[in-house]
Structure 1
Amino acid sequence: MKAQDKIPQIQLEKNEVSTKFIEAKIDSIIAVLTLEEKVAMTHAQSKFSTKGVARLGIPEVWMSDGPHGVREEISWDAWENAGWTNDAITAFPALTCLAATFNPELAENYGFSLGEEAKYREKEVLLGPGVNIYRTPMNGRNFEYLGEDPFLASSMVVPYIKGVQDNGVAACVKHFALNNQEHLRDKINVEVGDRALHEIYLPAFKAAVQKGNVWALMGAYNKFRGQYTTHNKILHKILKTDWNFDGVVISDWSSVHSTEEAALYGVDMEMGTGTDGLGTTTNNHYQHYYLANPFLKAIKNGALSEGLLDDKVRRILRLMYRTNLNPNRTLGKLNTDKHLEVARKVATEGIVLLKNEDNFFPIQDKKGITIAVIGENATRDMTQGGGSSQLKPLFEISPLQGIKDRYKNATIIHTMGYESGASVYDEILPANLNQDSLYVKAIEVAKKADIVLFVGGLNKSHHQDSEGDDREVFDLPYGQEKLINGIQEVNENLGFLLVTGNAVKMPWISKTKGILQTWYLGSMAGHAIADVVSGDVNPSGKLPFSFPKELNDNAAHAFGQISYPGDGVNQNYSEGILVGYRWFDTRKIKPQYAFGFGLSYTDLKISEVKIDQKKYAKNDQIKITFEVANTGDRAGAEVVQVYVGKHKSKVERALKELKGFSKIYLEKGANKTGTITIDASSLAYYNPEISDWTVEEGTYYLYVGNASNNIVKKIKFDLF
């Protein structure tokens, strides 16, 4: 039963949509539901749906992965594709790319387009976005998340959620919480201090709830202080009591482990459990879920109260009135020109120019020049694989195709250079081709070219950028470093189009003249890459996470195995609040590339940075004004970043923390005045002694620049 099948006796009229009215309707429904009907609503009936109540016309709830595109239809009772022919969609860039745009307005357009596609596919819940913090570059799922900084992640997730939910489709922010690695994700117990929990790992979830008004939230697999996070007493209190979350908590698939804890500590819909997690036999029937027959039995014998069940059903019905029972819900759209335009815009704004020696980029389309495109990633499908976020796009423009389409005058030649082998969910299949032969051929092709574009990096295979486990090496895989060195020996005009969702080790930087960090860009990948390579679009992306030179330069790896990946049972976040650039800044470790870094094809200058006063009360707003000038020969954009640090704090602090940013677009020769406003209250630290936030009085420093390590102005001010 789908969205159009409303409850006959309690249909809403279009002018009757007040919260009070809906809550009254929910009360009337709960009053006539049987105990069995209510329990049936709290657990799955298929891989991606929960039951309705047919006799009352209460519809089913249908969900879909994922955060950057609506996943293809999955079979009712198995993980195979359902084999539909009408479920191809627009693949949007992965969320690392969205974060790199530093453009909240674009995040809302992204969310709205994605919501339209989910609505067309008749989904009530879209299982995304992900906001787990980038703690280590080894995490296989970082490409699905919004970077290492909680302020950036919060700023980008709120408009994304609003965009999705404007369609009457629930966003489901995930994974709550501390699911910052894939290795042993279903076993590892995370020990982290209260300050790091509240200052680093929870802010994006809090913003999603309190500012984004997200309608659903997904639990995580790992444990926190000895208890599974999906039904964790501490997290449940924070979410549903402290933050007043009124939506639905959906378990990650197989993340429930206890009927009692799931009932008491917040799970409203249990998905994917079975008795072995992924099985399809009768032993794994949905009636055996923790919130199925065992829940029913516990209520009937008095071990658990029916009030716990009623709260879950109330939340589920509230979700329905926001989605499939909403009379104002419009029709969805799929694969429109507008969706493709948004996908391309996000991709071009998210691409980050990391190096541009001798103005290697942009590359002009000239007759008589030969461009060699070398690398498996030039043609490899990057929307399949990666785990639950894999997609079935209507099409995917490869980097090679995009470059061929854009460069009509130049001669384009291509060879693979290396082969990674195919991948299934949890294993890598051996490569079919001879790697030595591929290497030799690549060197021959490079000799013939005027310019070489190497398209490499990672892919969506197991132990790369993929759900299920983490990366095993920090270096480029598949012999790419050797290939880069070999190409550079025969052709110095070498640029690297780096396709990853993670930082990689880069000892080969000096061998290249230009590097573009291109992410996983979805349907329009090749066109977006060609837009930037050619100069049709001036790159304006900024890194949403730091690139360490060595793996041990990263905070999570600086404290040994117990910090990452743990000892197999426990893991201590020994770096505390010093995650990402906070660690590099405070410990004076030079990164390979800093958080917030990104070059342009034009010359952009930030100047005239001022604040409106020198002393502020704790409830004041701090107003920062600045000018940005474009003194180059083409239009461009700069991201002005504002960081704040406490001078001589009485508690441990990072040197500085991002507290504001603004993306400024300028035509050539233009200059603009911009303003960023910061609430003084946002400078608080979480105080474990009072279990609340404290704004410390005294001297602070404001840092303004275009990267965490490129500050153009430092200003002193006081809070009293």
Structure 2
Amino acid sequence: MKYKELIQQMTLEEKASFMSGKDFWQTMDLERLGIPSMFLSDGPHGIRKQAEAADHLGLNESIPATCFPTAATVANSWNQELGELIGDYLGKEAVAQKVNVLLGPGINMKRNPLCGRNFEYFSEDPYLAGKLAAAYIRGIQSHGISACVKHFAVNNQEARRMSIDTIVDERTLREIYLTAFEIAVKEGKTKTVMSSYNMLNGAYTNENQHLMRVILRDEWGYEGVVVTDWGGSNDRVAGLVAGNELEMPTTAGETNLEIVNAVSSGKIQEKVLDEAVDRLLDLVFTTEQVFNNPLRDKDFDVNKHHRVAQKVAEESIVLLKNEANILPLQKNNNLAVIGQFAKEARYQGAGSSIVNPTRLDNTLECLEESGLTCIGYEPGFERYGKKNNQKINDACTLAKQADVVLLYMGLDEATEAEGLDRASMHIPQNQIDLLNALSEVNDNIVVVLSCGAAVEMPWIDKVKGLVHGYLAGQAGSRAMLRVLSGDVNPSGKLAETYPLRYEDTPSSHNFPGKEVSVEYREGMYIGYRYFDTAAVNVLFPFGYGLSYTTFAYSNIQVDLDKVTFDVTNTGDVAGMEVAQLYVGSASSDIFRPKKELKGFAKVFIHPGETKTVTIAFDDKTFRYFNVNTNKWEVEAADYNILIGASSADIRLETTLAVEGTGAPAPYDQAKLPSYYTGKASNVSVEEFESLLGHKVPKSTWDRSKPLGYNDTIAQCAYAKGGFARFAFKLITFAHWFLRKIGKRETANLIMMSVYHMPFRGMARMTGGIINMPMLDGILMIVNGHFFKGLGHVLKERKKMLKQAKGLSKAEAKG
């Protein structure tokens, strides 16, 4: 151990106290031994350090920081260097604000387009997500602080995220849901990993020995710290044994005592605790060094960071439709700017990632400097979906006078938020009504889309141009105008597939898990892996994006280490092209997607210029996880080497014979027909169990049992206690009423922080206001013993206050 001598000076109680937070955002310090506390801050796309009362949900305003584009946006850049640049600037701001650990990036897979937190994640593809995450981490950690990759693992829905049990087969787990984390750990060398709230195959992730010990520590060689998501600890001792060092936020000493008792009773060896303390001390001291440097930057150049945010946004914008070359806009076009998002930009998500921007560009204010001619602006619709025919009429009156209509559409902040999933893939109907009306009076409509996830577009034939900015951060409005005007040639390409309709999504039959568990019956067939293999038509394929120029591919050459090819700019505008390497096995012995992304390169090419591109193969190019040998293997086969401008636009193709590792095929093909054909959108439970190798657990609540720690407040709907059922009705009424009067964000907060919260969350998230003995009393009330439970709560509350008072007196004397 690195800090053995220091640890020997610590008492058992001090070591245990070191395992949970001092408050909401800080770790424990130990002044007598010179151990400082660390500050952890939200920050996937900007620092969210709160100056006043701390909360995890984005309620209280944070210190101003640059709001960069979200991960879903940056993924469309397909540019690792850009990811490292963002990380670099995030790291500079973290150092300026004395943040030791920046809680990001988030790299969970986009299994389903309705996941409410998709705006915070990179992609449906683990290779792309992992490479970009590693770039972010390198940039952040170049400043001496720590990134914290999250949420480990298979956290792909927000509903019931603190208690849902994710049922997934081992091969899918390894190939789809863990590969991005593997890249982040091995290539990014992240110093911190955040465990997710959910269970994985029957065990909470931060207690899951297979995930935390076997894979993360033993196989990947991870030596850093694991921190819980806030309030995400279930059994503190089990988490510690699995290698989860830090529990956040504080539990006012309650779980520290659990650790002390476990060591004292011999339940766990003290060396397990010592190892955890050693890893946490290393994180504290290595990240604290930068703050002790007298030359440390205590401020940052706001304008320079804003310009970097703009550059990132410009390269991440995706041109999806350009009929009759309506874009770029001509300087002499008279433009009608319509849409409430033009005046008040939709530029980031909602929840714990909300950033208080240092500046915020406004489309209407930036129009003049763009050189475009605007004849007027109309909001056209109410932001949160309320119908308003007068606004539509006013917008149509303006549109009649314009050469081109710029229509700003998208999803509002209350629709995409942490803690809840979207109800559908639709754009709000009042916006569609506006588009329909505008199309009757003007044929030249360009839609500027702002949202953090895939949406359905049955209206697309009514527009000539479609530009998707995703959630482009504080400088996104100016960046968008530079693309529309032609000052910037768009080079973004989609990092996720856009289905024609939600029902085409392979996980739609099993999303979200509504009670006990969620079954990943589609296996590895998510995103383009499913659509390409099952030959299902899509609106926009993975990797798709247009440019103001054109590119030709030629001269492919391949050997065992790499593929090379030429890309020529055949248009008359300089631009960047994202060339994508896909690999598919010609063998049918082991089921696989038709093709999988295994490399990419973004190149800048002048008109008429040809550049030779080389994409090297790596350890992930040909591998698959064999569930019989329990390790990565290579199948001996001919492999199709495909170079494309998207997953559906393959420009070059060749084959390569690859020697295998000789492992026997792990599957009985007759028992897995859906997986061998790739048509895995509605797999039977029997076939899924054949893939799993065991029976699936019961997915519904047992309503005959009393409610316990890990049951949710939503389950009060069938509680034995009348008071609990009344409380449930009160909560659901409050949610309905707040939505009815337009307070959608507050209504969402009820769903996020109350409705889906497990009862243990009352103790884990209240900073010691409620402890576990008090929670026992609350559960008595819930389960029909009102007076007994109330008495127990009051007794335990009195006992807790007495203990706290005694501790304060002891500290004062000390």
TM-score by length of 1: 0.88
Instruction: Please list every run of 5 or more consecutive structure 1 residues that lacks an aligned counterpart in the other structure.
Output: 1-22, 275-285, 422-429, 613-619
Kindly indicate whether residue 376 of structure 2 is the aligned counterpart of residue 413 of structure 1.
yes
**Matching residue of 1:476:** 427
**Corresponding residue number in structure 2 for 1:626:** 565
Tell me which residue corresponds to 1:41: 18
Matched, 1:256 2:233: yes
Does the CA contact (< 8 Å) of 2:69 and 2:309 recur in 1?
yes
**Residues 204, 719 of structure 1: alpha-carbon distance in 2 compared, 3 angstrom cutoff:** same
Aligned match of 2:413: 460
SS at match of 2:538: coil
Deviation string 1:222-263 (CA, Å, 9 cap, x unpaired) is 111111112212211211222121111110011111122112
Question: In the alignment, is the contact (CA less than 8 A) between 1:75 and 1:81 conserved in 2?
Answer: no
User: Aligned match of 2:361 in 391, 397, 400?
Assistant: 397
SS in 2 for 1:345: helix
1:118 alignment counterpart: 94
* Partner residue of 1:520 out of 457, 471, 482: 471
Kindly provide the amino acid, as one letter, of the partner of residue 437 in structure 2. G
User: Shift of residue 306 of structure 1?
Assistant: 1.7
Aligned to 2:680: none
| Amino acid across the alignment from 1:51 | M
Which of 95, 100, 109 is the equivalent residue of 2:71? 95
Q: CA deviation at 1:302?
A: 2.6
Partner of 1:159: 135
> Out of 546, 553, 561, which is 1:599 matched to?
546
Q: Is the contact made by 1:699 and 1:716 (CA closer than 8 Å) also made in structure 2?
A: yes
CA–CA separation in structure 1 for the residues paired with 2:243 and 2:651: 47
- What is the match of residue 20 of structure 1? none
Is 1:178 matched up with 2:154? yes
* Secondary structure of 1:676 counterpart: strand
Give 1:697's match in structure 2, choosing from 628, 636, 648: 636
Shift of 1:296: 2.1
Q: In the alignment, what sits opposite 2:487?
A: 536
Partner in structure 2 of residue 503 of structure 1:
454
Structure 1 CA distance, aligned partners of 2:346 and 2:491? 23
Aligned match of 1:716 in 648, 655, 670? 655
TM-score normalized with structure 2 length: 0.78
Report if aligned partners of 2:111, 2:507 keep a CA contact under 8 Å in 1.
Answer: yes
In 1, Cα distance between the equivalents of 2:193 and 2:226? 5
TM-aligned CA distance change 1:700 to 1:343, over 3 Å: same
Inter-partner Cα distance in structure 1 for 2:412 and 2:230: 24
1:198 to 165, 174, 179: 174
Counterpart secondary structure, 2:399: helix
Contact 1:89–1:335 (Cα < 8 Å) also in 2 = no
2:207 to 231, 234, 253: 231
Distance change (3 Å), C-alpha of 1:332 and 1:694: farther
Cα offsets for 1:575-610 (capped at 9, x unmatched): 111111000110001111000000000121112222
Aligned to 2:577: 638
* 1:43-63 Cα shifts (integer Å, max 9, x gaps): 111111111111122111101
| Aligned residue runs from structure 1 range 317-336, under 5 A | 317-325=281-289, 330-331=296-297, 333-336=299-302
Of the three residues 306, 331, 335, the one matched with 1:365 is: 331
| Whole-angstrom distance in 2 between the partners of 1:219 and 1:566 | 19
Return 5+ residue gaps in structure 2 as ranges.
660-814
Alignment correspondent of 1:269: 246
Distance in 2 (CA, whole Å) between partners of 1:46 and 1:265 is 24
CA gap of 1:156–1:681, structure 2 versus 1, over 3 A, is closer
CA contact (8 A) 2:302 2:358 kept: no
Assess, with a 3 A threshold, how the Cα gap between structure 1 residues 57 and 517 changes in structure 2: closer, same or farther. same
Please say if residues 138 and 471 of structure 1, whose CA atoms lie closer than 8 Å, have aligned partners that are also in contact.
yes
1:517-572, Cα deviation, whole Å (9 max, x unpaired):
10111111111101101110000001000000011211111xx2xx2112421111
Alignment partners' CA distance in 2, 1:273 and 1:477: 40
1:329-344 matches, within 5 Å, as 330-331=296-297, 333-344=299-310
Say whether the 8 Å CA contact 2:313–2:479 is kept in structure 1: yes
Out of 524, 534, 554, the residue aligned to residue 577 of structure 1 is: 524
What are the Cα deviations for residues 32-83 of structure 1, in whole angstroms up to 9, with x where unaligned? 1122222222111111111111112211110110200001415455569897
User: What do residues 625-684 of structure 1 show as CA deviations (whole Å, max 9, x unaligned)?
Assistant: 111111212110111111000012311100000111111101122111111111366311
Distance in 1 separating the partners of 2:59 and 2:535: 53
Q: Distance in 2 between matches of 1:653 and 1:675?
A: 25
Q: Using the TM superposition, give the Cα deviation of residue 404 of structure 1 relative to its aligned residue in structure 2, in angstroms.
A: 3.9
Report if the CA contact (8 A) 2:313-2:472 is conserved.
yes
Tell me how far 1:174 sits from its aligned partner: 0.2
Match of 2:402 among 414, 428, 449: 449
Structure 1 residues 94 and 680: alpha-carbon distance in aligned structure 2, compared to 1, 3 A threshold: closer
Asked if structure 1 preserves the Cα contact closer than 8 Å seen for 2:586 and 2:639, the reply is: yes
Q: Confirm whether residue 310 of structure 1 aligns to residue 274 of structure 2.
A: yes
132-141 or 471-480, which deviates more: 471-480
CA deviations 1:421-478 (Å, max 9, x no partner) are 4xxxxxxxx86xx6222222222221222211111111221xx221010000111114
Offset of 1:120 from its aligned partner?
0.5
CA drift of 1:413 comes to 1.5
Q: CA deviation at 1:715?
A: 0.8
Q: What SS does the corresponding residue of 1:555 show, helix, strand or coil?
A: coil
Q: Hey, what does 1:129 align to over in structure 2?
A: 105
Q: Percent identity?
A: 39
The one-letter code matched in structure 1 to 2:257 is: N
Going from structure 1 to structure 2, the CA distance change for 1:81 and 1:176 (only over 3 Å counts) comes to closer
Q: Quick check: 2:499–2:539 contact (8 Å CA) kept in 1? A: yes
CA distance in 2, matches of 1:704, 1:80: 43
Distance in 1 (CA, whole Å) between partners of 2:134 and 2:60 is 34
Q: 1:245 aligns with which of 222, 225, 236?
A: 222
Q: Secondary structure at the match of 1:323?
A: helix
> Quick one: distance in 1 between partners of 2:246 and 2:33?
20
Inter-partner Cα distance in structure 2 for 1:391 and 1:698: 49
How much does 1:419 deviate? 1.4
Letter in 2 for 1:535: G
The SS at the match of 1:389 is: coil
In 1, are the aligned partners of 2:69 and 2:347 still within 8 Å (CA)?
Answer: no
Q: Name the structure 2 match of 1:565.
A: 512
Q: Is 1:148 aligned to residue 111 of structure 2? A: no
Cross-structure match for 1:299:
263
SS in 2 for 1:627: strand
Summarize the Cα distance change of 1:76–1:485 in structure 2 as closer, same or farther, 3 Å threshold.
Answer: closer
Distance of 1:646 and 1:313 partners within structure 2: 46
Question: In the comparison of the two structures, how many residue pairs are matched?
Answer: 656
Q: Is contact 2:550-2:570 (8 Å) kept?
A: yes
Aligned-partner SS, 1:479: helix
For the residues of structure 1 that align with 2:329 and 2:280, how far apart are their CA atoms? Answer: 54
Structure 2 residue matching 1:523: 3-state secondary structure: coil
Q: Is the 8 A contact 1:372 1:451 kept in 2?
A: yes
Shift in alpha-carbon separation, 1:599–1:127, aligned structure 2, 3 A: same
Within the candidate set 32, 36, 39, 1:59 is matched to: 36
User: What is the alpha-carbon distance in structure 2 between the residues aligned to residue 72 and residue 242 of structure 1?
Assistant: 34
Name the residue aligned to 1:355. 321
1:609 and 2:586 equivalent? no
- Do the aligned partners of 1:403 and 1:526 also contact (CA within 8 Å) in 2? no
Q: Does structure 1 conserve the Cα–Cα contact (< 8 Å) formed by 2:348 and 2:471?
A: no
Sort the Cα spacing of 1:549 and 1:80 in 2 relative to 1 into closer, same or farther, 3 A: closer
Name the amino acid aligned to 1:455. Answer: Y
Which structure dedicates a bigger proportion of its chain to helix? 2
Q: Which residue of 2 aligns with 1:671?
A: 610
Q: Which amino acid aligns with 1:101?
A: S
Residues 639 and 655 in structure 2, CA contact (< 8 A), matched pair in contact too: yes
- Point out the structure with max Rg over C-alpha: 2
